[in-house]
């Protein structure tokens, strides 16, 4: 174990002292580098194999908001390979990488958000923590706040454990997702509290433009609380490499726009399949359960074919969603609609079930329950399903709906 001398961390940025300790530990075969209690200024850090960076209680690392302090690298951002500022904490191709708490990481994101809104950056904003092509990754117990963009981004990693994190970004901060595992295998996210300006947890698998499509599979999300955010747990919309075998259980959502949502669109291809969603409690959400294959945000999302109601030819770029089970869910104060299940006429959703679920609606200003071009603002709408094969509803109670509680169109 190496405990960094607090004297070497104070005053000027402490980047060199921390990075040197990490590199020396890696050169000696690995070890734990401890940041002691205190507040310290730093630029970006690169983690190495078999090294744990541990933040003691009371330790705060404040990362500079000067873009010149971060080199531009080529990496994946929002599903596309592009130039991006290197993440504030980064590792690539490493094994046994650990970042642990209970200290705090401060990203000073405001300058990044303002520059993004002004279109004043020559490259994409950096993620806060990104481990790319790594094996056996552990992140635990720390607080991370004010990220420039996505906060925690494991990319093409295997055997990832994320537990006990507190992730906090302002509700109006752009693209500040909480935890986004992308094209990873064997991911466990547990006991985290996430309060952010975009999706709280978003499971992704790249876009149709990727040279090699890598699935995201074997993912568990348990015991988390999710506050604000556009979605509590989201699968997609970048899912061209397939998202499969996902279990979401024992989570609480409060004030998220949507609860659990699966989203994609024509042209993206890929499958979302074998998903279990159980034991959730939600309050103050627009629409608790969403499956949407006409998602219109991002690159090419507004092209006419995305929302065309006419059947299109089925190709390798047709997305498919199948075998989704939602059960034992309690929702209070849902504002817009109870649920929206939106397949495609040429690719209906397959084998969708909602079991032992109560959804209580409350009057509000009409808003769109699902983000596509055909949705209209509503309040207190029931469950609407379009283009589904194998829809199973059992012990489903919808309270407070205006008009029909269940509305089906081309459903079997």
Catalytic positions: 198
CB distance 131 to 181 below 8 Å: no
Rounded distance between C-alpha atoms, residue 200 and residue 231, angstroms: 6
Q: What sections of 13-109 are H helices per DSSP?
A: 15-27
Rounded distance between C-alpha atoms, residue 24 and residue 252, angstroms: 42
Strand spans (E) along 172-286: 185-190, 193-196, 201-203, 216-222, 225-228, 231-236, 243-249, 252-254, 258-263, 271-283
Other CB atoms within a 10 A radius of the CB of residue 256 amount to 29
State whether the Cα torsion 299-74-149-67 is positive or negative. Answer: negative
**3-state DSSP call for residue 117?**
helix
CB distance 147 to 170 below 8 Å: no
Instruction: Name the burial class of residue 281, with classes exposed (0-12), middle (13-18) and buried (19+) by CB atoms within 10 angstroms of its CB.
Output: middle
DSSP conformation class of 114:
H
Q: What sections of 46-121 are H helices per DSSP?
A: 110-117
Instruction: Write the CA distances from 272 to 224, 255, 295, 303, 351, integer angstroms.
Output: 22, 26, 14, 22, 12
């Amino acid at each position: 174990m190496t405990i960094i001398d607090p004297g070497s961390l104070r005053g000027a940025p402490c980047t060199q002292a921390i990075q040197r300790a990490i590199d020396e530990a890696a050169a000696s075969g690995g070890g734990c580098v401890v940041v002691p209690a205190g507040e310290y200024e730093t630029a970006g850090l690169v983690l190495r194999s078999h090294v744990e960076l541990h933040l003691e209680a009371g330790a705060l690392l404040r990362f500079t908001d000067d873009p010149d302090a971060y080199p531009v690298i080529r990496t994946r951002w929002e599903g596309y390979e592009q130039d991006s500022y290197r993440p504030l904490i980064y590792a690539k191709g490493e094994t046994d990488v650990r970042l642990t708490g209970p200290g705090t990481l401060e990203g000073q994101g405001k300058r990044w958000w303002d520059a993004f809104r002004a279109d004043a950056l020559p490259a994409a904003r950096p993620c806060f923590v990104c481990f790319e092509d790594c094996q056996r990754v552990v992140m635990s117990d720390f607080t991370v706040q004010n990220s420039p963009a996505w906060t925690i981004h494991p990319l093409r990693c295997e055997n990832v454990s994320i537990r006990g994190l507190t992730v906090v970004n302002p509700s109006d901060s752009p693209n500040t997702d909480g935890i986004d595992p992308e094209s990873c295998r064997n991911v466990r996210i547990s006991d985290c509290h996430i309060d952010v300006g975009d999706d709280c947890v978003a499971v992704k698998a790249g876009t149709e433009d990727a040279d090699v499509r890598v699935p995201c599979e074997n993912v568990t999300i348990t015991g988390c609380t999710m506050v604000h955010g556009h979605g509590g747990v989201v699968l997609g919309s970048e899912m061209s490499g397939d998202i499969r075998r996902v279990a979401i259980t024992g989570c609480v959502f409060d004030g998220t726009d949507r609860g659990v949502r699966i989203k994609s669109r024509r042209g993206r291809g890929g499958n979302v399949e074998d998903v279990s969603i159980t034991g959730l409690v939600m309050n103050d959400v627009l629409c608790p359960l969403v499956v949407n294959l006409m998602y219109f945000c991002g690159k090419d999302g507004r092209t006419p074919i995305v929302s065309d109601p006419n059947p299109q030819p089925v190709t390798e770029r047709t997305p498919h969603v199948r075998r989704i089970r939602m059960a034992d869910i309690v929702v209070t104060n849902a504002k817009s609609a109870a649920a929206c299940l939106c397949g495609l006429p040429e690719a209906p959703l397959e084998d969708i079930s909602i079991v032992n679920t109560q959804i209580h609606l409350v009057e509000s200003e009409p808003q769109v329950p699902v983000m596509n071009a055909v949705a209209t603002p509503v309040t207190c709408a029931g469950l609407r399903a379009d283009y589904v094969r194998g829809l199973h509803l059992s012990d489903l109670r919808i309270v407070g709906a205006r008009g029909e509680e269940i509305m089906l169109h081309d459903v079997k």
